[in-house]
Amino acid sequence: MDLSAVREEIRKIDLKIAELIKARTDLAIHVYKAKKEQNFAIVDNKQVEDVLRRAEEFAIANGLNSDAMKRIFEILIEMNTDEQERFLREGIE
């Protein structure tokens, strides 16, 4: 495979990753509503720990940098938390 073909494959994968991030972020409204209904805090530390643990375990099992994988998931969690906080500020039911 030549360089331009490899870069095209990477571009396609990047687009898929972006689409999955969007889908994950779109779920923030449902998480927010469930937390609001059950009177839960926006940040659930146990859930955060579970997500980061799964990311780390996946990275280790697949020979990836576990610290980098955890940082990626920390950003994803931050994005969802920011969305939920925005919903709270805007008074979304």
Residue 77 pLDDT greater than 90, yes or no? yes
Residue 29 CA to chain centroid, in angstroms? 14
All domains of the chain, ordered by start, with CATH?
3-89 (1.20.59.10)
What global pTM score does this model have? 0.91
Q: What is the DSSP letter of 42?
A: S
pLDDT digit string, tens, across residues 46-72: 999 999 999 999 999 999 999 999 999
Cβ–Cβ under 8 Å, residues 59 and 69: yes
Residue 1 pLDDT greater than 90, yes or no? no
pLDDT digit string, tens, across residues 21-52: 999 999 999 999 999 999 999 999 999 999 99
State phi, psi for 42 to the nearest 5 degrees. Answer: -60, -45
